[in-house]
Amino acid sequence: MRVTMIGSGYVGLVSGACFADFGHEVTCVDTDAAKIEGLKNGVMPIYEPGLDDLVARNVEAGRLTFTTDLGPAVKDAAAVFIAVGTPSRRGDGHADLTYVYEAARQIAKAVDGYTVVVDKSTVPVGTGDEVARIIKETRPDADVSVASNPEFLREGNAIGDFKRPDRIVVGVEDERAKDVMEELYRPLYLNVAPLVFTGRRTAELIKYAANAFLATKITFINEIADLCEKAGANVQEVARGIGLDGRIGSKFLHAGPGFGGSCFPKDTRALVRTGRDFGTPIKIVEMVEEVNEARKLAMAERIKDALGGDLSGKTVGVLGLAFKPNTDDMREAPSLAIIPALEAAGAKVKAYDPESMAQAKPHLPNVAYVDDAYSAIDGADALVILTEWDQFRALDLTRVKSLLKSPVVVDLRNVYRKEDMIERGFQYQGVGIG
């Protein structure tokens, strides 16, 4: 099938490359000429393990192309995906659908023959209805169906998630669109990937509900971690004890500094706004959003307390800046709240992250960025672990202790065992370890 992706960011590029790997002919379109030129030359705009090889392989095979010219790319496509950004709108927390609606207008002008237009972007309930209306208004004669096909890709494992999904959710309003989407995903469906067809509005809500539920699990275990610290319990053992219950599950029960990234913060905000708009407030999610924001600042206070309550003139060595390992994504990362709070309290911050430092610099301009983990630790009054990259899991602790001015370690990801660290002479503080 001929497939067009409008938007060559995280979702569009990964999805397009994976569809091409299945044998479809895919064109990725973007208005950013520099990004498209880079992609043509094998330069990835994001860090995602395995993506550069996947793109190169399919470009070489002639199944994947990149362009800024939307018209010809849309004209011959059986399915056109809208995979543009939907950031939180300033002021009210709603998803900003400006780019989605503009893409719909441009698609309407270019379609030729029956085409399925697919919302791949994360959008609120009813967006597909509006996309259909815009297309009809722009081009009354267009033979178009509008579908919803939300993505469930985890950054750092996106290719595996696309090719071996838990489920593929497709919201359609007619059989023709269903037939096209079944054919598009046929390579996965033969591998018994669960293809779930729903109404369009239901598919849109599934995405928000899923992300809000996972964000709730994270926030729940973070609050349990606080209780564990006061009660002398261990949150990791609590998480294991409840996670082995099949009704609960073990994923997203890792205590830490709060969730971030491109999805959970904006999607919880958007779901909160949607609930209010429909007169059905989702109070649990409202509280999740509030607690998560407060937690990030509380972690800065925790670091301050570990250094005696005064950060004036002190240096904090930070390992990890991205919101999670195996990505360079800095969107809503806890580091963006924690580090400025440390600086405001008088600390100097040295930091190292394997992939995200270039993305971090515009947001954290006063940080001293270094070339490796030990350089961040050297001469620091405390070591703080903010992102659990694999290379931070087996540091030479003898060397770490010799490099630090004082043996203070604040491990916000529970990478190390408290008992082992204390035995080695560190003043160690994890999360939820009483």
Does the annotation place 122 within a ligand binding site? yes
Does the annotation place 81 within a ligand binding site? no
Does the annotation place 24 within a ligand binding site? no
Q: How many angstroms separate the CA atoms of 137 and 7, rounded? A: 23
Does the annotation place 253 within a ligand binding site? yes
Does the annotation place 94 within a ligand binding site? no
366-to-75, 161, 343, 350, 369 alpha-carbon distances in Å: 48, 36, 8, 9, 9
Q: How many angstroms separate the CA atoms of 230 and 223, rounded? A: 11
Does the annotation place 31 within a ligand binding site? no
Does the annotation place 274 within a ligand binding site? no
Q: How many beta carbons lie within 10 A of that of residue 372, not counting itself?
A: 11
Does the annotation place 399 within a ligand binding site? no
Residues 6+ apart with CB under 8 A from 340: 364
Does the annotation place 105 within a ligand binding site? no
Does the annotation place 198 within a ligand binding site? no
Q: Which of the residues 18, 28, 228, 263 is marked catalytic?
A: 263
Q: How many angstroms separate the CA atoms of 256 and 249, rounded? A: 18
Q: How many angstroms separate the CA atoms of 422 and 22, rounded? A: 52
Residue 228 falls in the annotated catalytic set: no
Q: How many angstroms separate the CA atoms of 427 and 434, rounded? A: 14
User: Beta 195-198 vs 382-385: how paired, if at all?
Assistant: unpaired
Does the annotation place 155 within a ligand binding site? yes
Does the annotation place 68 within a ligand binding site? no
State the binding site for NAD(+): 30, 35, 86, 122, 155, 266, 331
Task: Tell me the catalytic residues.
Answer: 263
State the binding site: 30, 35, 86, 122, 152-155, 207, 252-256, 260, 266, 324, 331
State the binding site for substrate: 152-155, 207, 252-256, 260, 324
